[in-house]
Structure formats: structure tokens, C-alpha cells
Amino acid sequence: MKYEQPTQLQAVILDWAGTVVDFGSFAPTQIFVEAFREFGVEVSLEESRGPMGMGKWDHIRTLCNIPEIAERYRAKFGRIPTDDDVTDIYNRFMPLQIEKIAVHSALIPGALDAISLLRGKGLKIGTCSGYPKVVMDKVVELAGKNGYIPDHVVATDEVPNGRPYPAQSLQNVIALGISDVSACVKVDDTWPGILEGRSAGMWTVALTCSGNALGLSYEEYKNLDAVELDKERVRISKIFEDSKPHYLIDTIAELPAVIDDINSRLAKGEMPQCS
């Protein structure tokens, strides 16, 4: 029996916040600010966005490793934050996140139509997130009420290593019964999520405007003038540059056209690992 390359896609692995729900990815980022503030340490929204896409404990650890934030913590407590301190912040972050997740649970405009088109092309819909399962359960529940029910969900604490490791995407591959990782597309608004897809051997699509990198509400995004929006696209493309996404698009609404292009490339024998 010989190996045969896939000639069309079988699945799309979608991120959640900033990809399908929560335009601007405000739910996780704002809660980081609030969790640190409860310990008397100020962290800006911009700073909190930096490690977005990682599991939340790792995200907090990364924030605490930033010299400026570590110094603020030292000024308050007389020491730089230890792993135990990170766990204390995480334990405060979690109930805040669960309490306020509904505030930013709206589906991103065009998401349902795009996903419907993908299903019409025969694709399965897998998902993963930097959220732990206790938060994901609430996110999934709220999304279902808004009409979005994916085929599979993998939370960051359901695998040994979260992003940028490939485990969550690969767990979707197993659960969905996909025959080849090259027949999958990973869609995400963060560089750890794109690295996850790349490391899993998948096609990758980075979202430049609906998520963490732009960090604006849908109304603010729509109100940007064309020149400013183009400047932001250039800035954001540089953020994603080292993670090497195969495609960059504004929002998930543009994804069906990308899927058609990838299917065309697969039919010609192209593979994601070669580009």
C-alpha cells in the first residue's frame, strides 16, 4: 500500500475568540488586566495581548516574565513573581473569565455563513482554544445558542502541551477521523495558533482584523478609513511573519475563497509543508 497525497481538504480547525466569536478578542485580554489589578499590579490591555493564543497559565507566566511587569510585581510584593504567584493570579483569572465570558460571546459577522459554506464543501469543523475546559464549556454553550455547533472541541488543558505545540490540532485530527494532516486547515488570529497549525503539518490561515492583533471592536474596524486599515494590515502581517501562515485574511468571512484555493493547490500536488 503506497502513500497518496490528499487532493482536497477534509477539515478546518478553528480557533474561538477572535476567530469565530468575540470580535477583537476582548474576553481573555481584558480579564488578564483585571486579574493582575486585583493583586495591585497594573498590566495594560496592549501588554496582555502579547502572548495571546497560549494556554492561560502559560500566558500569565509569559506576562510575568516581561521585565517591566516583573518589576511592578517586585515593587508591590518585594519579589519577582514565582510559579506559585502565577498560579495565584491564574486562580483569580479563572472565575473572572467564567463570570464575564458571556459579555463577549457574540459570533463574528459572517462566521455562520462561512462555516455553512465549508460544511457544504464536505469539510468537518474542529476547534481548539487557549481556554481551559471549564471556560470552553461555557463558550461552547453560548455559541450553540447563537447557532454555532462545531464537530469537535479541544481545550488547552485536555492535551499535554498547548500552543504553540501541535497537540490540540492533532487531537482534532484523531477525533474527526481525518486521514492526512495535509488535508486540514488551521485558522487562528494569533501567532501561537499559526505555529500550532504549522507544527501539525497543516495549511494555516491567519486572521488580521477580527482578533487580537488589531484589537478593535467590529464597529471600530468598519469605521477605519482605507489608508489606516492598510497600515494596520502591514503592521499585523509583520507580527505573523515568523510563524509563516500560508494565507492572511481580514476575517473568517473570507475563508471559503481560501478553501477553494487550497483545494486547487492540493489537486495540483502541492502540500502545506512545501510552502
The catalytic residue positions are 15, 56
Range list of β-strands (E), the chain: 11-14, 124-128, 152-154, 184-188, 203-207, 247-249
What burial letters (b/e) apply to 133-153, b meaning 16+ CB within 10 Å?
Answer: eebbebbbebbeeeebebebb
CA distance 248 to 211: 12
CA distance 199 to 160: 15
Using CA atoms, how far residue 228 sits from 46, 114, 206, 214, in Å, is: 19, 26, 19, 12
CA distance 252 to 206: 9
CA distance 234 to 228: 10
The grid coordinates listed for 177 are 477521523
CA distance 3 to 18: 37
Closest CA to 172 of 64, 16, 38, 42: 16
CA distance 122 to 116: 10
Using CA atoms, how far residue 240 sits from 19, 78, 91, 111, 144, in Å, is: 15, 36, 30, 22, 30
DSSP state of 229: H
CA distance 127 to 16: 7
